[in-house]
Structure 1
Amino acid sequence: MALRPVMVNIKALDHSTVGRFWADALGWSAYSSGATTYVGPSGGLVWPDPVVLGIDVVPVPEAKTPTKNRMHLDLATTSDAHQAELVRRVKALGATPVDVGQGKVPWTVLADPEGNEFCVLEPREVYRDTGPIAAVVVDCANPRAMARFWDEATTWTLHEVTDDHAVLRSAKGVGPYAEFLRTPDAKTVPDRVHLDLLPYPGDDKTAEVSRLRALGATDLDLGQGDVPWSCLTDPEGHEFCVLALP
């Protein structure tokens, strides 16, 4: 038994606007199911996608606080010219520069129209085959502990772990990486961005949730009521959801 990450969930006041931003930024399409806006590769909706992590933008009544999200997306580029062009394009779409204390770095830190931070990376060989999203990056206090939990929680493969960072990726060697980076700041507000996990066909969601609790996950009550998914937090309090099979 195990789970697969299938999408990045982003909360927004205006899910349609934020969804269109991410679709245009990634060169994907926005698919509206009414209540949310799903962003995935163009050519028709495929869910769960066998390669990429889609983005599901869901409406919430609260605006983002000034506190930096503890999860963000890194976007891949193939050349210096591509990086410059992508930065120009996302700014034209409504992205704004953000100072999170990064100093002088080769990547560009921006925020989407509702303030969710993301980075446009300089070209890196490691991300040459990830698609437009290079990595889902998570701030944490203990990358080794995060590696133990997420390696056991999902079918993704642990590529590297040190005291400062841990890296996982789909066992198929496709799509983005998940990277856990040691940071000095502690989690103080609910995450605006989180991962959604899905059981494999034939697996039991209730059993999977019980297994996650045994690994150190905690049930989370967001006022979601009676819904088909389960809300949890990992051992450092990062929210995530286990979805029901379609």
Structure 2
Amino acid sequence: MATRLVQINMKARDEVALGQFWAEVLGWEMSSEGPGVTNLEPKGVVYPDPVAVFIDIVVSDEPKTGKNRVHVDLATTSAAHQAEVVARLTELGATPVDVGQGDVSWIVLADPEGNEFCVLDWHDSNQDTGPIASVVVDCADPRAMARFWGEATDWTVHKVTDDSAVLRSSQGVGPYLQFLRTPDVKTGWNRVHLDVRPYPGDDMEAEAARLRALGATPIDLGDSTIPWKVFADPVGNEFCLLTPM
């Protein structure tokens, strides 16, 4: 048994407006599975598909406080293309932000609701990721994250050091999942989090038990009607186990 990373979940004050921004950024389509939820998916791709990590934007009145612990890196083909992308996204409403990155080759921007993301200045054409080069998660221990997420999902671990860990779908397509060491202390719920799904025919309860055995901690939201399960990974980042699909 295994899960796979299928989407990231973002909270938003105005999920439609933020969805429109990210749809323009990525060139993806918008839909909605219900009130308060905006779904983003690549054109012509049927969810779930490892060629992309999809995005769900969910309305929330919780204020954003501090830097997000989960963000996306956008792919570009060159420094010149990076400048073009940054200019286009600025016109769409993105703003430059300083998160203490110093003198680096990537550009850090924030979307209209303040969610940070990076525009890279490189792209490996032999490993096409699509517009999202990687999903990046801050953590205290990248090695622990590589062990947990490498076993929790069917994603392949490509690199592990004391400072970072990199995984990618076992099919060798789509964006990378990167864990970066940070000294920042986690406070409160993550405004952006990962969602994983078991495969069709797998048993959700058995998968939940397997995740607990790997070190995930169940989180009780006090609502027995929701079909998904909420966990924290070994360093405390929340994620959701969705129903098999």
TM over 0.5: same fold? yes
Amino acid at match of 1:59: V
Amino acid at match of 1:26: L
Whether the 8 Å contact between 2:74 and 2:134 is mirrored in structure 1 is: yes
Whether the 8 Å contact between 2:142 and 2:180 is mirrored in structure 1 is: yes
State the 1:170 CA deviation: 0.2
State the 1:126 CA deviation: 7.5
- Aligned match of 1:42: 43
Matched residue of 2:211: which SS? helix
List gaps (5 residues or longer) in structure 1: none
List gaps (5 residues or longer) in structure 2: none
State the 1:42 CA deviation: 1.8
- Aligned match of 1:240: 239
- Aligned match of 2:114: 115
Q: How many residues align?
A: 244
Taking the TM superposition and a 5 Å limit, the aligned residue runs for 1:53-64 are 53-64=53-64
Distance in 2 between the 1:80 and 1:122 partners? Answer: 5
Whether the 8 Å contact between 1:127 and 1:134 is mirrored in structure 2 is: no
Whether the 8 Å contact between 1:76 and 1:127 is mirrored in structure 2 is: no
Distance in 2 between the 1:50 and 1:102 partners? Answer: 30
- Render the CA deviation track for 1:85-120: whole Å, top value 9, x for unaligned: 111111111111111001111110011111111000
State the 1:154 CA deviation: 0.2
Whether the 8 Å contact between 1:78 and 1:128 is mirrored in structure 2 is: no
- Aligned match of 1:161: 160
Distance in 2 between the 1:154 and 1:245 partners? Answer: 13
Whether the 8 Å contact between 2:50 and 2:169 is mirrored in structure 1 is: no
- Aligned match of 1:88: 87
Moved more, 30-39 or 190-199: 30-39
Amino acid at match of 1:114: E
Distance verdict in 2 for CA 1:93–1:222, change over 3 Å: farther
- Aligned match of 1:11: 11
Distance in 2 between the 1:224 and 1:127 partners? Answer: 45
State the 1:167 CA deviation: 0.5
- Aligned match of 1:148: 147
Matched residue of 2:22: which SS? helix
TM score, norm. by length of structure 1: 0.95
TM score, norm. by length of structure 2: 0.95
- Aligned match of 1:198: 197
Distance verdict in 2 for CA 1:128–1:76, change over 3 Å: farther
Matched residue of 1:208: which SS? helix
Distance in 2 between the 1:80 and 1:177 partners? Answer: 20
Distance verdict in 2 for CA 1:168–1:182, change over 3 Å: same
Amino acid at match of 1:102: Q
- Render the CA deviation track for 1:165-209: whole Å, top value 9, x for unaligned: 111000000000001111111111210111110010110011101
Distance verdict in 2 for CA 1:41–1:106, change over 3 Å: same
Distance in 2 between the 1:108 and 1:93 partners? Answer: 16
- Aligned match of 2:23: 23
Matched residue of 2:34: which SS? coil
- Aligned match of 1:219: 218
- Aligned match of 2:183: 184
Whether the 8 Å contact between 1:129 and 1:175 is mirrored in structure 2 is: yes
CA RMSD, aligned part only? Answer: 1.5
State the 1:231 CA deviation: 0.6
Amino acid at match of 2:2: A
Amino acid at match of 1:70: R
